[in-house]
Amino acid sequence: MLELIESHASFGGTQRIYRHESKAIGLPMRFSVFMPKEASQRKVPALFYLAGLTCTEETFPIKAGAQRFAAQHGIALIAPDTSPRGAGVPGESASWDFGVGAGFYVDATQEPWSKHYRMYSYVRDELRETVVNELPVDGERLGIFGHSMGGHGALMLALRNPDIYRSVSAFAPIAAPMRCPWGEKAFSGYLGADREAWKQYDASELVGKATRKFAAGILVDQGLADQFLAEQLNPDVFEAACNAAGQPLTLRRHEGYDHGYFFISTFIEDHLAHHAKVLLG
C-alpha cells in the first residue's frame, strides 16, 4: 500500500514522493517518482536511479534536472532512498560512508546489519514489483542508472539481472568496489571477511560473467576533476574488464568536472537519450 507524501506538477507530469512498509527491509521506505503526462493514458517505460553516499530519495529529483528530458521521452523516473532509516543498529550514523545513507545496494549477511540492510533485494524485487503493480509502469521496459555508490549499484544490478534491466548507465561509479577504501569498508562490514562473497557485488568482476551483453552499450561519464577519482572510483578497471568481456562501453572523461550534481545535470540529457533509445526503440 503506497502512501503519497507529496506531489508537484512538473513538465506536464507529476513529481511525487511515496512511503510504504517494506517487507524486504522490515521498515518504512520512501522513494520518489516522476510520472510523465503519458502515464495518465498508458503504462510507460521507467528508469530506476540509485543515488550516492549520504543522499536520499529527494536528492536526484531536486538536483539532477532530469524531469525535463524524461518528459520529452515519456519515461518515468524512480529513485529510492540509499539505506534503511531507523533500523536502530548501534553506530549506524557514526560515519557518512557506512550505515545510514550508505547501504551500498547489497544484502548484508553480517549481524547486526543483515536484518534490515537488504537494499539489493529491495531495489531489484520489492521496489520494482511495487511500482509495476501500483503505478502505470511497463515492467518489460525498465532501465537503471546511478551516481557514485549508486553507479556501482546500477552497474552491478544490471549485470546480474539483464533479464530485468534493458539499459544501464552511470555517473562516476564506484566501478571496482573491491579495490577501493569505500568498497572494502562497506563489503567487510555488510558481507564479512570472505572476499569471494564480495565479487557478486563488484561490476568489474561481474562483467565477464554476465549471461547477456548490453548490445546498445553501457554509458559511463567521469569527471577528471573528481576528488574521488584516484582513490575510489577505478573507471579504468571497469573499462579493461568490459574490453576483455566484449561488452560495449562508452566511457567519457570530462576535463574540469567534479563529483557533484553540477556534473550530473550537465550530462543527464545524454543519459536519458541513451536509455530512451533502448526502452522506446
54-58 own/partner pairs: CB under 8 Å, 24+ apart:
54/82, 54/96, 54/101, 54/102, 55/82, 55/101, 55/150, 56/30, 56/81, 56/82, 56/101, 57/17, 57/30, 57/31, 57/32, 57/81, 58/17, 58/32
101 with 87: CB under 8 angstroms? no
* C-alpha distances out from residue 223 to 66, 92, 179, Å: 19, 30, 20
278 with 216: CB under 8 angstroms? yes
Catalytic positions:
148, 226, 259
Which DSSP state fits 126? I
Contacts of 240 by beta carbon, 8 Å cutoff, 6+ apart: none
Contacts of 236 by beta carbon, 8 Å cutoff, 6+ apart: none
The most distant pair of C-alpha atoms in the chain lies apart, rounded to whole Å, by 50
Q: Amino acid identity, residue 17?
A: I
Q: What DSSP string runs through 170-227?
A: EES----GGGSHHHHHHHHHHH-S-HHHHGGG-HHHHGGG-SS--TT-EEEEEETT-T
Instruction: For residue 128, give the C-alpha cell.
Output: 520494482
CA distance 101 to 161: 24
